[in-house]
């Protein structure tokens, strides 16, 4: 364990430490502290001594104090390490063996706090493009051309996306689809969540053909709140099955990005009930997800915004908030990191309810991007999911499902993901952060095999 | 057990609808399904229709009234939860 050790050496040593013109080493101050490996790279620091006013309590810090660095008052801090299995013994023995030891303190790792909802953007979409290795992908011919990208959300405003991206957007109006209760034309919906998702996917796959499915408008009435019901998602996936079946088998490429889910068990049967959704692979929606994946679609779901550090206020599941299809074993569940590669505090942590090893991986979020919520950033795992979907759509340009099945593609993404701690897998980041360079290398190896 | 609150009723139907699944031959149609199960027009969400879930298995979804669901009993599967779904961003 890393520790800070406070000592009161001779007044000459204290004076040397306190004098900025002199240099004292850890060995000068603490010479051979038994059981402590001193950190020689850490320059000893003089610690001032609190002095109460005349007549004050010499033991209390709850009074007016002055702080003295005088050689007869001050102490000195050094840094070191004590073996974990000796910690208790050493902490008891040190002050007894060395009368100059005043105290031993923990030296914890300190970090800046995680990004939460409402925090300003961390970087912008050009940072995301750089991290997603967009130039390298496009140089390799992986730009989404010929790939169908279904955005199941609140509808897309294609003109806004094109303006923000600075390039044309391909909208597939023929294969777009709306629930019967939704009015509006594909690509012409108000700028909102779905527009953000389309933009974020097209950062990496700008030539993909967007299939606009305004699923989350099916229950919106009057106000700005958006939402739908799961039975409409069943119908949307059924439509996509038709889209997929109409593609030639040898060139099938359909990527389905879903930045939505169920926040609360309030709308569900309890786990264990045959009609339950959250924990039940036999629910019709979970079945149609499996059926569409088996037919060759790549399906991605946002992991959700119910992370332990700063969960969305709507989160209603007491534990394991990655539920239903968002935790399906045949989809990629995508958590969120900022462009500094740190998990955002709201990104839901596993294990998942249908599959333990969730999320699968993380992609970038909380950046200035689509301006759909300007000046607020593209945020939530809602943004991370289409960022990952853009990579999948780019890969499909040259690697249709007949050449690389959805399961094989998920494996490539998991195996190449970069886990900052080298953990391999954990329930915060899954297998790690998407690594397009690693994916490119893996695909090249596979092509050469 | 009573049904959980529906994630949202359909404005075009008066009676609350529930999600069920049925097994029918390939290429089944909504009129064919209604005939097969003896369902009246006001018992079925006609706008939702007959939705193929797994064409190979002949599995379809329907939205029907709770009364119709009870009457059909073991002839169909469900009712299933039809929860409200919402976007995962921006976090509130």
Q: What is the pLDDT of residues A190-235, one digit of tens each?
A: 999 999 999 999 999 999 999 999 999 987 544 446 788 899 999 9
Please check the confidence at residue B8 and state whether its pLDDT lies above 60: no
State the pLDDT at residue B82.
93
Q: Which of A117, A229, A304 sits opposite B82 (nearest CB)?
A: A229
Q: At what angle do helices A158-165 and A193-202 cross, to 10 degrees?
A: 40
Residue of B nearest to A194 (CA): B87
Compare A42 and A152 and report the one with higher pLDDT: A152
Considering the domain boundaries, does residue A338 fall inside one? yes
Q: Domain ends where: A52, A78, A106?
A: A106
- Report the C-alpha gap between B52 and B60 in whole angstroms: 4
Please check the confidence at residue A292 and state whether its pLDDT lies above 60: yes
Range ranked top by mean pLDDT from A46-50, A337-341, A422-426: A337-341
State the pLDDT at residue A21.
83
Compare A443 and A111 and report the one with higher pLDDT: A443
Predicted confidence (pLDDT) per residue in A146-179, tens digit:
999 999 999 999 999 999 999 999 999 999 999 9
Please check the confidence at residue B11 and state whether its pLDDT lies above 70: no
pLDDT confidence bin for B41, thresholds 50/70/90: very high
- Residues A38 and A78: beta-carbon distance below 8 Å: yes
pLDDT confidence bin for A268, thresholds 50/70/90: very high
- Residues A6 and A76: beta-carbon distance below 8 Å: yes
Mean pLDDT rounded to a whole number for chain B: 87
- End-to-end CA gap in chain A: 47
List chain B domain ranges: 17-80
Considering the domain boundaries, does residue A100 fall inside one? yes
Same domain membership, residue A151 and residue A281: yes
State the pLDDT at residue A2.
79
Between strands A332-337 and A361-364, the pairing is: parallel
State the pLDDT at residue A310.
94
Same domain membership, residue A343 and residue A297: yes
Q: Which residues contact B55 (CB under 8 A, 6 or more apart)?
A: A241, A291, B26
- Report the C-alpha gap between A167 and A188 in whole angstroms: 17
Q: Which of B12, B47, B88 sits opposite A380 (nearest CB)?
A: B88
Residue of B nearest to A279 (CA): B81
Predicted confidence (pLDDT) per residue in A68-110, tens digit:
888 888 999 999 888 877 888 888 888 888 889 988 888 766 6
Predicted confidence (pLDDT) per residue in A13-29, tens digit:
999 998 888 888 888 88
Is some CB atom of chain A closer than 8 A to the CB atom of B28?
no
Closest CA–CA distance from residue B40 to any residue of chain A (Å): 20
- Report the C-alpha gap between B46 and B58 in whole angstroms: 20
Q: Domain ends where: A56, A74, A106?
A: A106
Q: Which of B59, B83, B85 sits opposite A287 (nearest CB)?
A: B59
Same domain membership, residue A225 and residue A363: yes
Q: Which residue from A385, A446, A378, A137 is spatially nearest to A258, judged by alpha carbons? A: A385
- Tracing tokens 């005939």 back to the chain, one arrives at B35
Q: Domain ends where: A46, A75, A106?
A: A106
Q: Which domain range does residue A16 map to?
A: 2-106
Same domain membership, residue A261 and residue A136: yes
Closest CA–CA distance from residue B38 to any residue of chain A (Å): 22
Please check the confidence at residue A185 and state whether its pLDDT lies above 70: yes
Q: Which residue from A63, A26, A20 is spatially nearest to A43, judged by alpha carbons? A: A26
- Report the C-alpha gap between B7 and A127 in whole angstroms: 38
Q: At what angle do helices A436-448 and A381-396 cross, to 10 degrees?
A: 20
| Cα torsion angle, A381, A385, A387, A391, sign | positive
Mean pLDDT rounded to a whole number for chain A: 93
Cis bond before residue A375 (omega within 30° of 0): yes
Predicted confidence (pLDDT) per residue in A396-421, tens digit:
999 999 999 999 999 999 999 999 88
CB–CB contact B63 A310 (8 Å): no
- Report the C-alpha gap between A312 and A260 in whole angstroms: 13
Same domain membership, residue A163 and residue A90: no
Please check the confidence at residue B15 and state whether its pLDDT lies above 80: no
Catalytic residues of A: 153, 193, 382
State the pLDDT at residue A105.
86
Same domain membership, residue A227 and residue A322: yes
pLDDT confidence bin for B13, thresholds 50/70/90: very low
- Tracing tokens 């390799």 back to the chain, one arrives at A140
State the pLDDT at residue A171.
98
Same domain membership, residue A163 and residue A17: no
Between strands B17-23 and B59-65, the pairing is: antiparallel
Q: Which two tokens stand for residue A352?
A: 């998942």
Residues, chain B, total? 92
Considering the domain boundaries, does residue A120 fall inside one? no
Closest CA–CA distance from residue B84 to any residue of chain A (Å): 5
Considering the domain boundaries, does residue A197 fall inside one? yes
- Report the C-alpha gap between A283 and A275 in whole angstroms: 7
Q: Structurally, how many domains does chain A consist of?
A: 2
State the pLDDT at residue B49.
95
Same domain membership, residue A380 and residue A341: yes
Q: Please state, for a pLDDT cut of 70, what percent of chain B lies above it.
A: 84
Same domain membership, residue A380 and residue A419: yes
- Residues B45 and B17: beta-carbon distance below 8 Å: yes
CB–CB contact A181 B47 (8 Å): yes
Q: Which two tokens stand for residue A223?
A: 């106000």
Considering the domain boundaries, does residue A67 fall inside one? yes
State the pLDDT at residue B9.
45
Q: Which residue from A367, A400, A366, A368 is spatially nearest to A380, judged by alpha carbons? A: A366
Average pLDDT over residues A365-386: 97
Same domain membership, residue A168 and residue A32: no
- Report the C-alpha gap between A214 and A43 in whole angstroms: 61
Same domain membership, residue A295 and residue A231: yes
Compare A48 and A139 and report the one with higher pLDDT: A139
CATH of the domain at A397: 3.40.50.200
State the pLDDT at residue A85.
79
Q: Which of A216, A291, A312 sits opposite B85 (nearest CB)?
A: A216
Is some CB atom of chain A closer than 8 A to the CB atom of B27?
no
- The DSSP element (H or E) to which A76 belongs, if any, is strand A75-81
Residue of B nearest to A285 (CA): B53
Same domain membership, residue A168 and residue A76: no
Q: A218: which chain B residues are within 8 Å (Cβ-Cβ)?
A: 8
Closest CA–CA distance from residue A430 to any residue of chain B (Å): 18
């Amino acid at each position: 364990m890393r520790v800070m050790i406070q000592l009161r050496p001779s007044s000459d040593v204290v004076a040397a430490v306190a004098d900025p013109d002199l240099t004292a080493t850890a060995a000068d101050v603490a010479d051979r502290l038994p059981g402590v490996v001193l950190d020689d790279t850490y320059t000893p620091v003089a610690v001032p001594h609190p002095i109460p006013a005349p007549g004050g309590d010499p033991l209390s810090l709850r009074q007016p104090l002055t702080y003295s660095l005088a050689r007869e008052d001050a102490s000195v801090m050094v840094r070191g390490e004590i073996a974990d299995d000796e910690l208790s013994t050493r902490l008891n023995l040190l002050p007894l063996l060395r009368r100059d030891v005043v105290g031993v303190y923990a030296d914890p790792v300190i970090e800046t706090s995680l990004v939460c909802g409402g925090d300003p953007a961390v970087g912008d979409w050009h940072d995301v493009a750089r991290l997603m290795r967009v130039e390298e992908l496009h140089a390799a011919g992986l730009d989404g051309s010929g790939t169908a990208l279904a955005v199941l959300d609140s509808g897309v405003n294609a003109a806004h996306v094109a303006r923000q991206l600075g390039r044309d957007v391909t909208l597939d109006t023929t294969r777009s689809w709306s629930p019967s209760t939704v009015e509006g034309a594909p690509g012409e919906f108000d700028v909102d969540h779905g527009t953000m998702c389309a933009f974020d996917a097209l950062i990496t796959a700008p030539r993909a053909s967007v299939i606009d499915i305004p699923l989350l408008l099916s229950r919106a009435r009057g106000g700005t709140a958006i939402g739908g019901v799961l039975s409409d998602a069943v119908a949307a996936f059924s439509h996509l099955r038709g889209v997929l079946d109409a593609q030639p088998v040898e060139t099938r490429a359909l990527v389905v990005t879903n930045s939505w889910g169920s926040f609360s068990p309030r709308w569900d049967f309890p786990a264990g009930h045959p009609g339950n959704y959250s924990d039940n692979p036999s629910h019709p929606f979970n079945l149609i997800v499996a059926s569409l994946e088996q037919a060759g679609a790549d399906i991605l779901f946002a992991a959700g915004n119910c992370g332990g550090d700063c969960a969305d206020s709507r989160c209603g599941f007491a534990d394991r908030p990655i539920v239903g299809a968002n935790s399906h074993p045949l989809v990629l569940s995508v958590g969120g990191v900022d462009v500094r590669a740190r998990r955002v505090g709201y990104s839901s942590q596993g294990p998942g309810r249908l599959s333990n090893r969730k999320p699968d991986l993380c992609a970038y979020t909380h950046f200035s991007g689509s301006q759909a919520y300007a000046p607020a950033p593209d945020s939530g795992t809602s943004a991370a999911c289409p960022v990952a979907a853009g990579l999948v759509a780019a890969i499909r340009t040259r690697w249709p499902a007949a050449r690389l099945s959805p399961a094989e593609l998920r494996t490539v993404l998991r195996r190449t993901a970069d886990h900052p701690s080298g953990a391999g897998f954990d329930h915060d980041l899954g297998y790690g952060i998407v690594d397009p360079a690693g994916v490119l290398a893996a695909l090249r190896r596979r092509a050469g095999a | 057990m009573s049904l959980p609150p529906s994630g949202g009723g359909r404005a075009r139907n008066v009676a609350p609808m529930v999600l069920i699944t049925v097994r029918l031959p390939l290429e089944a149609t909504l009129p064919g399904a209604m005939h097969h199960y003896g369902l009246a027009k006001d018992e079925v969400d006609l706008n939702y229709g007959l939705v193929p879930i797994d064409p190979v298995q002949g599995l379809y979804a329907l939205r029907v009234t709770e009364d119709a669901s009870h009457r059909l009993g073991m002839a169909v599967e469900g009712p299933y939860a039809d929860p409200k779904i919402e976007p995962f961003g921006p976090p509130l």
